[in-house]
Chains A and B, each alone.
Chain A
């Protein structure tokens, strides 16, 4: 139950973070980079899960928010020589602003309409990145490693090209976002979000302005997506249109569903599993997206609760 087990919950999440911290010293370099990438993308999944798993809104347009963070960070570094910290902040802000704008327009719709509207806006955004390719370099994209200054802290320089820096940067950002999501779901706001998902009209008549809460969920979700896009750019230096495409909106849905919507650890698990599966599959065939399709169909038909959801229902009822 929510009010008890608080210590167990925080301890569990802290343990996971410590595990991730330690893993970098024992795994080979290839997996180091994989894990770093997974953690950066898991922030995206966490953001998506706030909206789907807690507020109950399925969007097909989150690539918009991810890419906003990516372009905000990438363009300011490339053209204006921004430092990493400022660029990251801008990335998160870009995600938040985009989510606010989209939310104000689209949240009057719900269910399937919301899904299609977000998909349409996201598609328009993607096409715009192609259309304005003098700025965005369109499909080809651009790299920022030339302009990216190392992080300076405590008198030492941390170059972004250093794998250890990439890993730990991802870990720090992921850790913060994970703890944020745990706290959110246990807070009064989180309770309201779940209520909105379960029965919106009832929640309204309990005194809550549900539209505001949905907007809040979307803004948090968009900010996290923007943070993910931003950190991904800092780590891998590449910015391109493909991250705004519809496939990139489908990925967080897939990761959240696989890991288990409405759970805090689901996003990490789903992202990790799927990233490895796709990686392995792409080594075997160029039609590797088949696993994406197959996983979606299998999940929705037989395992709608995902891995963590199943674990929670069967064994560990107090899992948030």
Chain B
């Protein structure tokens, strides 16, 4: 006799929509994500990619539709509560705390999990915090710059810091919004390797413009256009998809 494991889908949206003023940024999107995927969302500018993931992460609220995480309706849940569930979002433009040190940046993320209960909020043993911070920094290779001001880091390292902060939150689903943008080729390679290494424990949702990275990393690709889903499939399928080619080559 075995246990029947109820395998619920990790993430699902039903008819998710967002209208800004007169503009329909996202139109009735049914998006599904399974555990263990590295899913890339691609599409031309203004397709609604960032808006879609912003609604998933809780940054903005939908005009209509629902978001379900592990079978639970989280549509009304605030962004900070979603982080506690394991949904972590990293910003398109680096949004680190420039005036704080690298250590402090990651500490802020790491302490979130460790601040359980009233007492946890008031005191936190330094060595426990340091251990969590250093673990995250080690994963991205930034341990030796812990004492530097985050704003003084080169751009590529700032991006890595963002990832470290996300990791310190122990995500189940990590949303990366254009992580390779502005990086030099070697940095892109290094980041791709990192993402692949992370994907063993974390489901990755990736917005990318860099097709090489998408083809290299993604297990599945979703194409968006004008607020809706245009196509979904493996990288190869998408590459050869006639509608996708039209959207990217047309205009």
Contact = CB atoms under 8 A, between A and B. Distances in A.
Interface of A: 1-3, 187-189, 191-192, 194-195, 198-199, 201-210
Nearest to A184: B122
Interface string B180-216: 0000000000000000000000000000000000000
A199 B122 contact: no
Interface in B55-97: 57-59, 78-81, 83-84, 88-89, 91, 95-97
Interface of B: 57-59, 78-81, 83-84, 88-89, 91, 95-101, 103-104, 107-109, 111-112, 114-115, 120-124, 126, 130, 147, 165, 169
A205 B57 contact: yes
A198 B109 contact: no
B98 to A, nearest CB: 8
Contacts of B81: 209
A271 to B, nearest CB: 26
A195 B97 contact: yes
Contacts of A210: 80
A223 to B, nearest CB: 16
The 5 closest A-B pairs by CB, nearest first: A207-B83, A207-B112, A202-B95, A198-B97, A188-B111
A1 B95 contact: no
A3 B120 CA distance: 17
Contacts of A204: 79-80
Best-surrounded residue of A2, A189, A207, A208 (most CB of chain B within 10 A): A207
29 contacts: A1-B147, A3-B130, A187-B122, A188-B122, A189-B122, A191-B108, A192-B108, A195-B97, A195-B100, A195-B108, A198-B98, A198-B99, A198-B100, A199-B95, A202-B95, A203-B108, A204-B80, A205-B83, A205-B88, A205-B89, A206-B80, A206-B112, A207-B80, A207-B84, A207-B109, A207-B169, A208-B80, A208-B112, A209-B80
A208 B120 CA distance: 14
Nearest to A189: B121
B163 to A, nearest CB: 13
Nearest to B114: A188
Given A2-B104, A202-B91, 12 more contacts: A188-B121, A188-B122, A191-B104, A192-B108, A195-B108, A198-B100, A199-B97, A201-B95, A204-B80, A205-B83, A205-B88, A206-B112
The secondary structure that dominates the A interface is helix
Contacts of A194: 100
Nearest to A208: B80
Contacts of B89: 205
Best-surrounded residue of B79, B100, B108 (most CB of chain A within 10 A): B108
A184 to B, nearest CB: 9
B169 A206 contact: yes
Contacts of A192: 108
Contact of A206 (B58, B100, B109): B109
A194 B107 CA distance: 12
A188 B169 CA distance: 15
Given A198-B97, A199-B97, A206 B108 contact: yes
Contacts of B124: 187-188
A188 B115 contact: yes
Best-surrounded residue of B80, B83, B98, B123 (most CB of chain A within 10 A): B80
Nearest to B105: A195
Nearest to A202: B95
Contacts of A201: 59, 95
A2 B101 CA distance: 10
A195 B110 CA distance: 13
A206 B83 contact: yes
Nearest to B54: A205
Contacts of A202: 91, 95-97
B101 A191 contact: no
A198 B57 CA distance: 21
Contacts of A189: 121-122
Contacts of B120: 188
Best-surrounded residue of A2, A188, A192, A194 (most CB of chain B within 10 A): A188
Given A198-B100, A202-B95, A3 B126 contact: yes
